[in-house]
Structure 1
Amino acid sequence: MTLPQKPRLLDQVRQSIRLRHFSLKTEKSYVYYIRDFILFHQKRHPSEMGVDEIRAYLSHLAVERQVAASTQNVALSALLFLYKQVLELELPYIDNIERANRPKRLPVVFTRTEVKQVLSRLDGMNHLIVSLLYGSGMRLMEGLRLRVKDLDFEYRQITIRDAKGHKDRVTMLPTATIEPLKLQLQKTQQLHQQDLGMGYGAVELPYALARKYPNADKEWKWQFVFPSWKRSVDPRSQQIRRHHVYEQSVQRAVKKAVQTAGIHKHGGCHTLRHSFATHLLEDGYDIRTVQELLGHKDVKTTMIYTHVLNQGGRGVRSPLDSY
């Protein structure tokens, strides 16, 4: 009797990631850095390596490849996940790592006029998505992953599910977007009915809901508010589904709008979130309220926008302007 073959290491990593419901983006990043770690050490198996090899690899990323601090942190998270969750090995504290420099930069913020200029150069679904990003403070992927059931027109609020840190939160639904959103939902529902008529119409469900509620994936309330214009093969389940709009298409549209508006700032979709927070603080709203709307764990993260407000000499009047 032959014993079943043990899955390859990277397949074990993928399986472990999916059991914990990490995003596909996280899965790709973790697999990439784990594979890169193994190749860096001449294809040695990670079980034969430890803290010294991890330290050497992370220092290599910082010194030789000169990666950003955030990239080095992702690589470290991937390796810690590998050892703890996949290999089930406890590692001692890893110190003396050559750290990538994390530059201290203030967030780029659009003025109110610049936001209007960007929006005026967008149309259709892109205009609505970007309006929501600025009007509610959502991250791009939070906006694209919105489901029909997450919109509450009566209370004028949006429930953001499984956001950063795997937490739900509630933010405002701008009045200006209500009618365009209702029109968008009509178009989405028509598209969903067409898919159902052709034998499709299923959408990816979070966690184990698909097993718990076998028919929920075709229910209207679970559909994405902003569906893709074409169906595609889910890379994990291999099922043909209609996913949400591709993030890069919105990013490209915003980048083009910023350029054609003649705005000379390195801004994009996330800049609208920064602008949302800054403009609320300018209007006198409490920083704790802004913190809750943004979903920041620590108010210190939100306080960076107070520094943006103080640009231009921390609000001090120049002596030249007194002449």
Structure 2
Amino acid sequence: MMKANVYSLSHNVVLDAAPNGDVIVETPYNEEWINAIRSVPGRRWDATSKCWVIPGSKSAILVLCHALQDVPVEVKSTQLVERFPEFMQLQSGDEKNALKKLKDTLKMKGYSIKTQKAYMGHAERYLRMLTIPLKNAESHHTHAYLLKLSDESRSSSYVNQAVSALRFWLVTVLGRSDLNQWIRPKRQKKLPVVLSSGEVAKLLKAIQHVKHRTLIALIYSSGLRIGEAVRLTKQDIDPVRKTIHIRQGKGGKDRFTVLSNAAYAMLQNYMETQPIVKYLFPGGKGLDHHLTERSMQHVFVKAMRKAGISKPATVHTLRHSFATHLLENGTDLRYIQELLGHESSKTTEIYTHVSIKDIRRIQSPLDRIGMDDEDQ
């Protein structure tokens, strides 16, 4: 008996092209798979060839693809894929096993849930692009996928992530040492968006919900990542030492950051009205589940509109603003690096480029001219 989620190459549904344009479907005896094929309108059983025949119409193919989405499928004919690109969504047993190996390896190596999701997403999208079996893929196929991302105007960081994901999967996990040619795009040198202190104040005033306002205040006042903030517990807050303990942040690292007096006062007021079981900021699923990052992004966008701030900001902008404002107020860059949990000082140094402390001291040459109304 076949183990769950482990597929043998001999246990695939096989699709091939019939001379008259129909699709031939061969399957080992599996009641669930056979019932899936029977759900396709117009299908018929060919007793002579011992196979199913599916009409070569778009509607029938769409139903077939939907029915076989969780079934290991091998498409024998490249022409069939070219005629019906929908078949590219289906995966063979070999491909399903390869994806499972990637998922298991990511978990065993302790990669974050977010990274696991991102790497799995790239692997699945890469498979959907392939018109040949994964085992036959060559370097030019990976290059084509990466080029496609660039053509879609994806950011350089996104494409670099795709390179890391595919290289980890194909080379590290699957042992494809022949795929050794990888081209990374040049990283874009974009400066982070920063809100002014006045804009942060306007943003907080625009949030009426006490829980949401408190969470946003903590993110800004302590330089937290959104994922760290929503997972805070009561035990992470130390009002005596005025610190917040961030447990297993990015890269699986613990760190301490500053606890603002003003933010703690907001937090105390909030906790008086909110029963705390596990997380400080529970979500809609119950007191033992935290708020989702997506819900807080939605809250942030609404607050930005209400406050009349048009900058292209996200919740992460508050972390950039925290670091920039500390730097402008004279905090040493090394301390800011520790508070943010940056492994390299080079990551923190980007805030020296967005700080306007010294820029404001510079007088524009136009202001030195002293133009009066008559000159204008």
TM-score (norm 2): 0.67
CA contact (8 A) 2:217 2:263 kept: yes
Separation in 2 of the partners of 1:169 and 1:290? Answer: 12
Of 252, 271, 285, 1:230 maps to 285
Report what 2:54 is aligned to: none
Of 237, 246, 267, 1:160 maps to 246
Report what 1:198 is aligned to: none
Please state if 1:126 is matched with 2:221: no
SS state at 1:309 partner: coil
Report what 2:227 is aligned to: 141
Report what 1:70 is aligned to: 157
* Counterpart residue identity of residue 269, structure 1: V
CA contact (8 A) 2:327 2:352 kept: yes
Report what 1:113 is aligned to: 198
> Could you say which structure has the greater relative contact order, defined with CA pairs below 8 angstroms and 6 or more residues apart?
1
Please report how far the alpha carbon of residue 98 of structure 1 lies from its aligned counterpart in structure 2 after TM superposition: 6.9
Separation in 2 of the partners of 1:109 and 1:260? Answer: 18
Report what 2:338 is aligned to: 292
Separation in 2 of the partners of 1:298 and 1:191? Answer: 36
Structural mapping, 1:36-115, within 5 Å: 36-45=125-134, 47-62=135-150, 64-90=151-177, 93-95=180-182, 97=183, 99=185, 102-115=187-200
Please state if 1:255 is matched with 2:341: no
Separation in 2 of the partners of 1:41 and 1:311? Answer: 52
* Counterpart residue identity of residue 304, structure 2: V
> What CA deviation, in whole Å up to 9, does each residue of 1:281-306 have, x standing for no partner?
11111111111111122222222212
Please state if 1:179 is matched with 2:265: yes
Specify the structure having the higher radius of gyration (Cα).
2
Report what 1:306 is aligned to: 352
* Counterpart residue identity of residue 126, structure 1: H
Separation in 1 of the partners of 2:295 and 2:187? Answer: 29
Please report how far the alpha carbon of residue 315 of structure 1 lies from its aligned counterpart in structure 2 after TM superposition: 4.6
Query: Percent of aligned pairs with the same residue?
Result: 36
> After the TM superposition, which of the residue ranges 31-40 and 127-136 deviates more from structure 2?
31-40
Unaligned runs of 5+ in 2: 8-95, 371-376
Separation in 2 of the partners of 1:48 and 1:26? Answer: 27
TM-score (norm 1): 0.77
Separation in 1 of the partners of 2:195 and 2:227? Answer: 20
Higher strand share: 2
CA contact (8 A) 1:184 1:225 kept: no
Please report how far the alpha carbon of residue 142 of structure 1 lies from its aligned counterpart in structure 2 after TM superposition: 1.1
Separation in 1 of the partners of 2:179 and 2:123? Answer: 19
Please report how far the alpha carbon of residue 159 of structure 1 lies from its aligned counterpart in structure 2 after TM superposition: 1.3
SS state at 2:362 partner: coil
> What CA deviation, in whole Å up to 9, does each residue of 1:21-65 have, x standing for no partner?
3333333322221122122221522x3334333223212321x32
SS state at 1:265 partner: coil
